[in-house]
Structure 1
Amino acid sequence: MTVLILGGTGEARRLAGELPGIRVISSLAGRVRTPRLPPGEVRIGGFGGPDGLRKWLLGNDIHAVVDATHPFAARMTATAAQVTAELAIPFTVLSRPGWSPGPGDDWRWVDSVAEAARNLPAERVFLATGREELAEFADLGNWFLARSVEPPQPPVPRRLRVVLDRGPFTVEGELALMREHGIQALVTKDSGGEMTAAKLTAARELGIPVVVVRRPPLPAGVSVVSSVDEAVSWVRGIGEA
């Protein structure tokens, strides 16, 4: 049995290491030059759209596909759902639970990063949306702090400070970062998970508003699991069927 894991997340790396006896191929998008590699076989780079993915799945005799990409990798998820359905290959999405506001949180929900850019509640903003989204803020006059694994490419905001770092992050570290730069608002995607959740706790403690971008909807009718353990059980079930 050969399983393709569409990866790049911590859950994808864990899943790749918890399927002994099964051939696992992890696929990474290749957006980061030095990604954290999962155990086992790894391919890096896109598939070239639905036709490319279809050809690759057939050429590698894939028996099941687990989509453990980032919750905002909507195009990859839609393509994988479409092609696996056409080929009758079992497919599931490993979707970590999203974040929920708690007591004392001031969250403002929006449907896109573009909408977030139109509704900034303060002058000095910490953009935790990823380096590929900075173009949405390029024409604004606010002061921005952005954090990414690698330097962003233009267009970017005129008043931008970039911190190169990789999670997981601590509440203490996030508090220090926000205080150092006088942050008055946070913009983030509803990525979920623990690796980058500390910034939300820091925002609560500092009493600053958080603009949260909702997740894109998953394709209709797809199988969904919410944890690595559930994904392992799903894969094992396919192998026993």
Structure 2
Amino acid sequence: MLGGTGEARRLAAGLARDPGVRVVSSLAGRVTDPRLPEGEVRVGGFGGPDRMAAWLREHEIHAVIDATHPFAERITASAVRATATAGVPLLVLRRPGWRQDAGDDWHWVSSLDEAAASLPALGRRVFLTTGRQGLAAFAGADDLWFLIRTVDPPEPPLPARHHLLLARGPYTVDGERALMREHRVDVLVTKDSGGTMTRAKLTAARALALPVVVVRRPPLPEAAALETVDTVEAALTWLRAVPGTP
């Protein structure tokens, strides 16, 4: 299991209770204190798709489930190549993206660079919730002020005018609304991560009538017969049909 998400932890927890199943969750190691799933855990990259393929063969893996973050496109691309090389079935588990509701003022973009370019027309005090990677896209926005929220401290370059908030979800609507009011935020920037853990900021932005810049998800790699599901239950159904699994 390529993990790091709530769905990956739920799936690992269900499988780890079955004595006939050996579950190994692989975490990228980019978070200092990650939430560890049940079962075996390995932390760190494989060193590329060829080494991942070798690891799969060495450990006699019967199936790989990629349950990483929707924006972890490099990991997914490596998994596609590694499983094809090793001849191991691959499933991609991706939770559904967020959907706009009545009253939402969302502005869709395809990259962090596009998000940064769109901000001057939308606001001056930005709540930036896109994670600690890629913040360099906003470093040149000297006319804007940023409230940057990440789990771990980000590396420079960062926007010249900013306040850094280290926090980990889940968040509440009341807490997000109070935070936006405290810092006089007038525009929110997020990625279309989906799920419930961080959706509260979208509800709070709607209540405050704030515009939201939403970065679209990257497309999945083009691969023949790449199978995808969007729920843990569907992933379990797929796994039961894999030869060699109980």
Q: Same fold (TM over 0.5)?
A: yes
Shorter-chain-normalised TM-score: which range?
over 0.9
Deviation sequence 1:30-66 (CA, Å, 0-9, x none) = 0011100000100000111112211211111111000
Q: Tell me if structure 1 keeps the 8 A contact 2:93–2:231.
A: yes
Assess, with a 3 A threshold, how the Cα gap between structure 1 residues 45 and 195 changes in structure 2: closer, same or farther.
same
- List 4+ stretches of structure 1 deviating above 4 A: none
Q: Partners of 1:167 and 1:239 in 2: how far apart?
A: 37
The alpha-carbon deviation at position 86 of structure 1 amounts to 2.4
TM-score norm. by structure 1 comes to 0.96
Q: Partners of 1:240 and 1:48 in 2: how far apart?
A: 27
1:154 counterpart SS class:
coil
Q: Which residue of 2 aligns with 1:150?
A: 152
Q: Which residue of 2 aligns with 1:188?
A: 190
The alpha-carbon deviation at position 222 of structure 1 amounts to 1.1
1:131 paired with 2:132, answer yes
Q: Which residue of 2 aligns with 1:10?
A: 6
Q: Which residue of 2 aligns with 1:162?
A: 164
- Mapping 1:28-177, distance limit 5 Å: 28-120=27-119, 121-141=122-142, 142-177=144-179
Identity score, percent: 61
Q: Tell me if structure 2 keeps the 8 A contact 1:18–1:232.
A: no
Deviation sequence 1:179-227 (CA, Å, 0-9, x none) = 0000000010000000000000000000010000000011234100111
Q: Partners of 2:182 and 2:117 in 1: how far apart?
A: 25
Q: Tell me if structure 1 keeps the 8 A contact 2:54–2:86.
A: no
Q: Which residue of 1 aligns with 2:181?
A: 179
TM-score norm. by structure 2 comes to 0.94
Q: Partners of 2:51 and 2:186 in 1: how far apart?
A: 45
5+ unaligned residues in a row in structure 1: which ranges?
Answer: none
Q: Partners of 1:12 and 1:62 in 2: how far apart?
A: 17
1:208 paired with 2:204, answer no
Q: Partners of 2:54 and 2:159 in 1: how far apart?
A: 40
Q: Partners of 2:197 and 2:210 in 1: how far apart?
A: 21
